[in-house]
């Protein structure tokens, strides 16, 4: 009879040991679950940038009614010159499609250098345009706005409200005042304007 008692005792201890290990594992799993921290969602920079752009184009006193913004992959001559940052977009609204190129420069000298090189070799024919010369920059609507440290070029198949675009640039460049503006309506020659105290004065 004693021969059966000893093995039974060891078997009983083995079962208890397995049970305790299982319970320990459950406790450890519960602890891990308790202190688990979910990963933070990765911010969508592209989405945030689009929100900022829509707010810029559709803000009060501008209200361009932009419904879609797409990158414009077309490169222009003026983009070759040293600059700080370039924004080149195709904007869509209910009434028109607009190309808006904005180039920011480190200082006013960099802006002037790019602008005069732009005039010295304009278009596919690389024709030279004198300052304040009344020429056709394009067959479609063309507008160019310079601030102290930026150049904006706006083009569209439809004539646009120039005041809305002036406000758009003015509000986005509060510390960077507008210097002069070129406005050319479809099939017409360009007009040059100085800009001061929110007023346009044509340069003749």
* pLDDT tens per residue across span 144-171: 999 999 999 999 999 999 999 999 999 8
As a three-state string, the secondary structure of 33-99 is HHCCCCCCCCCCHHHHHHHHHHHHHCCCCCCCCEEEEEECCCCCHHHHCCCCEEEEEEEEECCCEEE
68-85: pLDDT as tens digits: 999 999 999 999 999 999
Over pLDDT 70: what percentage of the chain?
Answer: 76
Residues 114 and 103 sit within 8 Å (Cβ to Cβ):
yes
pLDDT > 60? residue 40: no
Do the bridges between strand 97-104 and strand 85-93 make them parallel or antiparallel, or are there none, so unpaired? Answer: antiparallel
Predicted local distance difference test score (pLDDT) of residue 49: 75
Identify the pLDDT of residue 136.
93
Res 46: pLDDT = 58
| pLDDT at residue 188, rounded to an integer | 95
**Region of residue 151 (phi > 0: left; psi between -120 and 50: alpha; otherwise: beta):** beta
Compute the distance between CA of residue 153 and CA of residue 168 in angstroms, rounded to an integer: 13
23-35, pLDDT tens digit by residue?
554 445 454 444 4
Instruction: Return the pLDDT at 123.
Output: 87
Confidence of residue 4 (pLDDT cuts 50, 70, 90): very low
Count the neighbouring beta carbons within 10 Å of the beta carbon of residue 115. 20
pLDDT at 8 over 60: no
Inform me whether the pLDDT recorded for 1 exceeds 50.
Answer: no
pLDDT of residue 102 exceeding 70, the answer is yes
- Give the bridge partners for 143, in sequence order: 154, 183
Residue 20 predicted with pLDDT over 70:
no
Kindly tell me if the per-residue pLDDT of 5 is higher than 90: no
Residue 201, number of CB atoms within 10 A of its CB: 12
**Per-residue pLDDT at 127:** 92
Closest CA to 107 of 151, 149, 146: 149
pTM: 0.75
Q: Compute the distance between CA of residue 158 and CA of residue 155 in angstroms, rounded to an integer.
A: 9
Mean pLDDT of 52-65: 84
For residue 60, which phi and psi values (nearest 5 degrees)?
-60, 145
Has residue 173 got a pLDDT over 60? yes
């Amino acid at each position: 009879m004693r021969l059966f008692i000893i093995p039974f005792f060891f078997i009983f201890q083995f079962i208890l040991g397995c049970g305790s290990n299982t319970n320990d594992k459950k406790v450890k799993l519960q602890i891990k679950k308790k202190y688990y921290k979910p990963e933070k969602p990765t911010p969508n920079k592209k989405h945030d940038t689009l929100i900022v752009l829509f707010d810029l184009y559709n803000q009060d006193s501008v209200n361009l009614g932009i419904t879609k913004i797409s990158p414009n992959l077309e490169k222009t001559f003026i983009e070759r010159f040293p600059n700080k940052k370039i924004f080149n977009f195709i904007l869509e609204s209910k009434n028109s499609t607009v190309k808006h190129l904005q180039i920011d420069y480190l200082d006013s000298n960099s802006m002037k250098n790019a602008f005069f090189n732009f005039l010295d070799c304009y278009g596919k024919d690389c024709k030279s345009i004198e300052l304040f010369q009344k020429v056709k920059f394009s067959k479609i609507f063309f507008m160019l706005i310079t601030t102290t440290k930026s150049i904006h070029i706006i083009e569209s198949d439809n004539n646009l409200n120039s005041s809305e675009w002036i406000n758009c640039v003015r509000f986005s460049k509060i510390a960077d005042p507008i210097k002069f503006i070129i406005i050319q309506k479809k099939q017409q020659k360009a007009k040059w304007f100085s800009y001061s105290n929110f007023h346009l004065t044509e340069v003749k």
